[in-house]
Amino acid sequence: MNKRDQRNRSLVIAEPGADPAPPLAENELWLLSYYRSSEINGALFFGRVARTVRGPLQVDVTHHFSDEANHARYWTACIDNLGRTAIKQNRSYQDQYLESANITGTCASPAPIRRSGRRSGGSCSTSGGT
């Protein structure tokens, strides 16, 4: 038995002697990878915000950064426990939020978030009115 087989596969619940779980379908792996990528993007975003905010908000934002990073770790472990490797994703659900908010560019800086929650020019470009 190799190391991967010896790991705790807590997500695969089966009675002793039962047939092993069916292999993970490619679309299921894609979905798990999508959630993983989204959590990584969230952690990176909140990490940037945590470096710029001051005062009591810094504690909350840093905690949120940590939560997002841990969620990514859980998804990564889940995929690994199922004997697979995550699929590289080009988009995350945060990208859909930006599209819904009519923000077309990428936010290289969290500056617009710090400005009382209102959209501003900052480093994000918008299409349409504000």
Any domain includes 7: no
- Rounded Cα distance between 15 and 121, Å, is 58
Any domain includes 47: yes
Any domain includes 109: no
Q: What are phi and psi of 58, to 5 degrees?
A: -60, -40
Which residues does residue 126 pair with via DSSP β-bridges, in sequence order? 103
Q: Are 123 and 112 in contact (CB under 8 A)?
A: yes
pTM tops 0.85, yes or no: no
Any domain includes 118: no
SS3 18: coil
**Tens place of pLDDT for every residue, the chain, 130 residues?**
444 444 444 444 455 665 566 688 999 999 999 999 999 999 998 999 999 999 999 999 999 999 999 999 999 999 999 999 999 998 787 777 767 777 655 554 555 554 434 333 333 333 444 3
Tell me the two tokens of residue 74. Answer: 């859980």
Report the length, in residues, of the chain. 130
- State the residue range of the domain holding 63: 24-102
Q: Considering its fold, how many domains does the chain have in total?
A: 1
Contacts of residue 74, Cβ cutoff 8 Å, sequence gap at least 6:
none
Any domain includes 11: no
Any domain includes 75: yes
Tell me the two tokens of residue 103. Answer: 């923000």
SS3 48: helix
Any domain includes 2: no
Any domain includes 67: yes
Helix (H) or strand (E) holding 66: helix 56-81
- Rounded Cα distance between 32 and 78, Å, is 8
